[in-house]
């Protein structure tokens, strides 16, 4: 399924980088399951980061478009 993401990468040194990603991903399993958590990391988290490998970071992802309308507007946070 097709998805579009807006990602804010916020690094501990204060650097903030916004990226926009269009990707093909696997449809999500039922929410609240262990499979859902695995899906978040396998299908969403893999699109975060900007290649900066030093220091901690927080990644804030919003689904801006998707073949599955229930995901549009959905927000995910990683590394916080």
pLDDT digits (tens, 9 = 90+) for 18-77: 999 999 999 999 998 999 999 999 999 999 977 666 667 899 999 999 999 999 999 999
Q: Nearest-CA neighbor of 79 among 2, 65, 55? A: 55
Structural contact between residues 78 and 57, judged by C-beta atoms closer than 8 angstroms: no
pLDDT over 80 at 2, yes or no: yes
**Count of the separate structural domains present in the chain:** 1
Residue with tokens 């399951």: 33
Q: Does the predicted model carry a pTM greater than 0.85? A: yes
Enumerate helices (H) and strands (E) in the chain, giving the number of each: 1, 4
Structural domain of residue 21, as residue ranges?
Answer: 2-78
Element (H, E) at 39: helix 34-39
Q: What integer pLDDT is reported at residue 80 of this predicted model?
A: 66
């Amino acid at each position: 399924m097709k998805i579009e993401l807006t990602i804010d990468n916020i690094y501990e040194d204060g650097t903030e980088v916004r990226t926009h990603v269009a990707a093909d991903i696997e449809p999500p399993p039922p929410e609240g399951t262990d499979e859902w958590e695995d899906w978040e990391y396998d299908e969403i988290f893999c699109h975060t980061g900007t290649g900066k490998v030093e220091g901690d970071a927080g990644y804030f992802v919003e689904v801006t478009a998707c073949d599955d309308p229930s995901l549009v507007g959905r927000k995910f946070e990683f590394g916080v």
